[in-house]
A and B are shown apart, each in its own frame.
Chain A
Amino acid sequence: MSTTTVDPHALPGETGMVEARRGRWLPFSPWHLILMPMALLMLVPLVWMVITSLETLAQTRRFPPVLWPGQLQFQNYPDALGAAPFPRWFWNTAVVTITVVASNLLLCSLAAYAFARMHFLGKKAIYFLLLATLMVPLQVVLVPTFLIVKQLGLINHLGALIVPNLANVFGIFMLTQFFRTLPIELEEAARIDGASRLKILFTIVLPLSAPALATLAVIQFMWTWNDFLWPLVTLYNEPAYTLQLGLQSFQGSHLTEWNLLMAGNVMSMIPMLVLFIVAQRWFIRGIATQGLKG
């Protein structure tokens, strides 16, 4: 069967027929002339950050800017690590993020499975209630949540970041939708064989849900790792800071030491970049399915 496309984006002058030849890329498409500058433009802030991180302080204070430092100042990196408790911040953020992601995977799976497959009193009402909380933006609940967390004695504690986020409504919804798409026969067969709901969830449903779980994990990871406002509001001791908060204070105390700042910034971005490159499929799928569900 043919695999041709009629390209609606063919440039005038082409005959209007462009083929997606099976397996072969076009030798040199004029689109590269648009896409390459665009891609480079998007990468400029990142690339410039890396270049600056390898310059000396004096080089950063030059105009026109030094585009290539000549001698790469890798020293900036250990200097930045020494100038602020980065390792501590990394650790804090990692602990919070991993705990939150793990907790969400567990709790959201449980709840989503119940909503997707079980019938119980009040199910619709509770589901609707949860939906309602999604509508409300963070700043509305900022102060009250702060007061609650304060009551629990978690201010200045990593627990302040973990406990309120142990179960995310978004995760529950996403998994509920996904579980509903699984063929129910598998679970029914197991039920007739006498398996408990819990067993069915862990031995049948979850293994089949690996893509959805991966997507949830990756998105939750990004949210938690990059979160700024909530840590800002609940953490006040430098050693307790998360990475984003720490970065902000680092910038505040090294305002114009751009080379040092960039080195710190690069280090802070590496975990997310690595995660993205390794798990891009799940990121992209997570975002794309948002759009397709309409």
Chain B
Amino acid sequence: MGSVTFDGVSKVYPGAKGSPSTVAVDDLSLEVGDGEFLILVGPSGCGKSTALRMVAGLEKISAGEIRVDGERINDVPPRDRDIAMVFQNYALYPHMTVAKNLAFGLRQRKTPRAEVSARVAAVSSTLGLDELLSRRPGQLSGGQRQRVAMGRALVREPRAFLMDEPLSNLDAKLRVQMRAELKKLHHRLGTTTIYVTHDQVEAMTLGERIAVMNAGLLQQIGVPQDVYDRPANVFVAGFIGSPPMNLLRGTVSGTTVSAGVFSFARPGLADGPITIGIRPETFRPTTEAGTVGPSIDLQVDVVEPLGDEVLVHGTLDARAAQSGAEAEDAVLLAETSTRAPVTVRLAPDSRPAPGDRMPLTADPMAVHLFDASSGDAIR
């Protein structure tokens, strides 16, 4: 048990006098299977947290239905939904010990003391909280608090877990560690989990399926590798993948698609503008053996050796396109320059120097095409 269904769910905030209302979540429909680990990912303000809070019951649903195990829960108060939530800032009761924090939910439901102790002890040993039980949240480190917050949700053995960016306040190393622990935990318990994050790396590594949202709308839902390999639109293409996909403004003329000097054949497209997407790893230096495809010169600006790979930032003689997932200043820069800034991922033995002209090719079969106006992928 524990499947969660969003059926045409919307959340609208009425505006103050004179201003229009805000649509935080727009007609969201998706299914979270029983036992599935689904990630809602998107930039801040995209509606993912709002969607999560509607499942929790902390936000009223403006339209549509949310069902858990098939039953409609729109009007069920949070306490009766049998769902546990892990908050971004942990929301631990500061005046209670860790043990009391863990036990609180169970005590509220009049669980018999013996069972409470047993469950708290079990969760505590699973999460390594045994020495911390008599401490207060104020005496714990960030990572420890995070685990207590998780423990508080675990101990209730609910139908589903809701997690609102639980790792975002941890430092990088701890985050990686906790990700692994979360994955292990999910394997063991198999409880349905809906996890919200703005970090696409987290989404890709943790989720069984990921749902990408932007401006209240669901952009794409699927297995991480699918979303990566076959983005449904320009936004998903630019959002998922680090470094992001390079986007160029291209033109279709007859059977030829071209962006600057980079051109290849692709029949069946309507004449006119088109957006071309090339992943950093799709570019290969022409000197590499076995490369196929048209070539274009990269004017190298910055070289970042990362040890297992080299990231080369430069510009191409083409115009850049936008995905909608960029930071503001990047947009401005791209609009005003005549060359497209791109990032290329190369093998560690490549050693271009800043200022070099590096000829690159890209396999046209691996190039993504998107409609220039709607942004949808063209297959």
Do A and B belong to a common assembly?
Answer: yes
| Residues in A lying within 8 Å of B, measured CB to CB | 1-4, 6, 15-17, 19, 21-24
Residue of A nearest to B58 (CB): A6
The answer on a CB contact under 8 Å between A1 and B60 is no
- CB of B17 closer than 8 Å to a CB of A: yes
Interface of B: prevailing SS: loop
> Which B residues are CB-close (under 8 A) to A21?
13-14
In the bound complex, how far is the Cα of B78 from the Cα of A16, in angstroms?
8
> Which A residues are CB-close (under 8 A) to B44?
1
> Which A residues are CB-close (under 8 A) to B13?
3, 21-22
Residue of B nearest to A6 (CB): B58
Stretch touching chain A among B26-34, B49-57, B97-105: B49-57
In the bound complex, how far is the Cα of B44 from the Cα of A19, in angstroms?
21
| Residues in B lying within 8 Å of A, measured CB to CB | 13-17, 19, 22, 24, 44-45, 49-50, 53, 57-60, 75-79
17 residue pairs of the A-B complex, CB under 8 angstroms, read A1-B44, A2-B49, A2-B59, A4-B53, A4-B58, A6-B78, A15-B75, A15-B77, A16-B77, A17-B60, A17-B78, A19-B59, A19-B60, A21-B13, A21-B14, A22-B14, A22-B15
In the bound complex, how far is the Cα of B19 from the Cα of A4, in angstroms?
18
In the bound complex, how far is the Cα of B22 from the Cα of A4, in angstroms?
14
Interface residue from A2, A16, A23, A24 paired with B50 (Cβ < 8 Å): A2
> Which A residues are CB-close (under 8 A) to B53?
2, 4
In the bound complex, how far is the Cα of B77 from the Cα of A17, in angstroms?
7
CB distance from A20 to the nearest CB of B (A): 11
Name the residue among B17, B22, B60 with the largest chain A CB count within 10 angstroms.
B60
The answer on a CB contact under 8 Å between A17 and B15 is no
CB distance from A242 to the nearest CB of B (A): 47
> Which A residues are CB-close (under 8 A) to B77?
15-17
In the bound complex, how far is the Cα of B77 from the Cα of A22, in angstroms?
22
In the bound complex, how far is the Cα of B60 from the Cα of A3, in angstroms?
12
The answer on a CB contact under 8 Å between B59 and A4 is yes
> Which B residues are CB-close (under 8 A) to A3?
13
> Which B residues are CB-close (under 8 A) to A17?
57-60, 77-78
The answer on a CB contact under 8 Å between B45 and A1 is yes
